[in-house]
Amino acid sequence: MGAEHLGLFDGIFSRGGAGTGSHAWLRAMLDTEAALARALERAGLAPGGAGAAVTDAAATAPFDPGALGRRAALSGNPVPALVAELRKAVPPDAADTVHRGATSQDIIDTAAMLLARAALDRLADDLAAAADGCAVLAAAHRDTMMIGRTLLQPAVPVTFGLVAAGWLTGLDEAADAVARVRAARLAVQFGGAAGTLASLGADGPAVASLLAQELGLALPVLPWHADRSRIIDVAAVCAGAAAALSKIARDVTLYAQAEVGELRESGGGSAAGERRGGSSAMPHKQNPVAAIAILGCTRRVPGLVATLVAAAEQEHQRAAGAWHAEWEPFADLLRVTGSAAAWGAEVTGGLIVDPARMRANLDATGGLPLAERVAGLLVPALGRAQAHDLVARASAHAVAVGVTLRESLLGVPELAGWLDGAGITSAQIDEALDPAGYLGSAGAFTDAALDAHARRQE
């Protein structure tokens, strides 16, 4: 069948490595048909050697996804055409074994589970690599001070270690969810025409169990033709992974703005010596391409998930249209989530941190991020509300005239008078305006995230 054709945008959106295109679907469908033949032989429902014959044909016959796809228009899915070609490729005494007891949805749904297994395995690996990169950053910058920002405006001081610890925890929790679905929710589909396996008589459940064994998938309580919760579970963990990755990517793009300059991607280039991050028009540009690529991938995830959730309402024993609507969005969701994770591993493993710029940006705020701490200093003497109002006036004055919060507090007679009346000295103000003394539990939280990450690896 050959390798997948590399598309124009695949370098961005298909970076994860787990195949979900036409050839991967076809391979998974053929693997399912081969496993079914082996299960039938093991159950005594097919002649000796039939399982091996079908398996060999499924592995070696020259099936053409394009030709099968064109013939899919005749039946509404590609399985009937595939079954016809597979029967031609096996010895005559094995032809009746091909697809026995199955319906088209059994083959496609089981193939979808095989695709999901491969994709989730790769996703888990890349999430783990991205998390390891975050752990290195969190440990190295546990005490690196920077401005905390809320609603995109300066808040109180934080550490970059805490920022990276937040990324780390999000990735670890996403990986845990992937592992749970990978272990428990990927199940074989085998129900026959309407979920009863009537064509196999009393042997149906035994064949289903053997098929699950052959493929290494879970055996469900009963066929799930019109119960799409397994598809939604896969979609949900992809959405969770995308959320964790997009959080990192968005932060990186903001921190990497030239006006901020606190982070930058390490760059890299192609084998031809092309520089990553350049612009076709502006020679000076150094764009955070990996973070941007993550956001390009993850921005597509909600729409794909929504389609799969909408398609979960399926009528009677087999759906008319809703099942068909799942195939491409499901594969696309696995593909773009995997690509985002692969980019994420690259971002966190090569991020360049500028602690000096972080401190400079913190200092450039003129002490305003410490206004909360100064207000706390005044609470015993003035009460919480009055202390808050006084420091708010001092902050507004500092911004209006372009001075530091210290200069405003000590230089405006009215404000200085309140401080004198409260018994607050300039030395106390200086101490309150030291960001190193107002990091709260940032270090402890960072340590907790690192400890939790280490325990996951034991």
pLDDT in tens, 123-175: 999 999 999 999 999 999 999 999 999 999 999 999 999 999 999 999 999 99
Please confirm, yes or no, whether 279 is among the known catalytic residues: yes
Q: List, in order of start, the domains of the chain with CATH numbers.
A: 1-9+18-100 (1.10.275.10), 103-201+222-355 (1.20.200.10), 368-432 (1.10.40)
Please confirm, yes or no, whether 270 is among the known catalytic residues: no
Please state, in angstroms and rounded to a whole number, the distance separating the CA atoms of residues 417 and 415: 5
HEC readout, 242-253: HHHHHHHHHHHH
- Backbone φ and ψ for 143, nearest 5 degrees, come out as -115, 15
- Catalytic-labelled residue, pool 279, 426, 441, 456: 279
Amino acid 335: pLDDT: 97
Judge whether 163 and 157 are in contact, CB under 8 Å: no
The pTM for the full model equals 0.93
Per residue in 10-57, pLDDT (tens digit) is 999 999 877 899 999 999 999 999 999 999 999 999 999 999 999 999
Please state, in angstroms and rounded to a whole number, the distance separating the CA atoms of residues 431 and 279: 46
Judge whether 94 and 53 are in contact, CB under 8 Å: yes
- Over the chain (458 residues), the average pLDDT of each successive run of 10 is 67 87 96 98 97 97 95 96 97 97 98 98 98 98 98 96 98 98 98 97 97 98 98 98 98 97 80 49 68 97 98 96 97 97 96 98 96 92 92 95 95 88 92 96 98 93
- Catalytic-labelled residue, pool 42, 250, 318, 359: 318
